[in-house]
Structure 1
Amino acid sequence: MTIEAIPPLANVGAAPLAMQIGPVTSPPAVEQAAGGFGAMLMNGLGAVNAKLENADALVRRFAVDENVPVHHVTMALEEARLSLELAMQVRGRLVEGYRELMNMQL
């Protein structure tokens, strides 16, 4: 994302403000959201899965005594638990919203 320079205020009286600003374009967030809502959800689930795999790998390394500090394992497990809990909350809200839409009278 790039930020364009703001035109100087000295030229404000010379042309209408719309001509000084330039053409109206869509916001960058809309252009970047080409993947859509499904892609955003899949990226989130991928991140949760990566945290779970990282915690699992740390637990395995800790179990075979590869000099992994216990606080690293604890933090990774807690981060994975919180990520999974958040994903479950999001899923619950999406299902609740879907059911609400299906029960609407047209």
Structure 2
Amino acid sequence: MQIEALKMTPVSMHAESHLGETQEAPVVKTFGEYLGDALGKVNSLEHESEKMNALLAAGQVEDISQVVVAAEKADIALQLTLQVRNRAVEAYQEIMRMQV
């Protein structure tokens, strides 16, 4: 009995509505695209925090809480990114230690 590997490709369905309208298949992002988008968001939060700090130093910010909130958002996003990276590295190392 031969066992076939699972194929992890998304299922695309092509069907026509009874009303005559056509439905487009949803756009499927790859893991790399998700990762790139997430890193881009973290980067934009860091830039926003730096911009708010510069505005505070220039005296153009009336409410200092906006600066603190921007800095905390950037800090939390960076911490999450580092933890995800650490977990990915740990998983890779664990896989490399496996005996085949």
Alpha-carbon distance in structure 2 between the residues aligned to 1:89 and 1:27 = 34
CA gap 1:72/1:27 in 2 versus in 1, 3 angstroms: farther
What residue in structure 2 maps to residue 88 of structure 1?
82
- Structure 2 gap segments, 5+ residues each: 1-9, 14-25
Answering whether residue 96 of structure 2 is matched by residue 102 of structure 1, we say yes
What residue in structure 1 maps to residue 27 of structure 2?
32
Answering whether residue 64 of structure 2 is matched by residue 79 of structure 1, we say no
Residue identity in the other structure for 2:56: F
Between the aligned residues of both structures, percent identity stands at 32
- Structure 1 gap segments, 5+ residues each: 1-24
Q: Calculate the TM-score normalised by the size of structure 1.
A: 0.67
Alpha-carbon distance in structure 2 between the residues aligned to 1:51 and 1:96 = 26
Divergent runs of 4+, >6 A: none
- Cα RMSD of the aligned pairs, angstroms, is 2.0
Q: How many residues align?
A: 79
State the structure with more CA Rg. Answer: 1
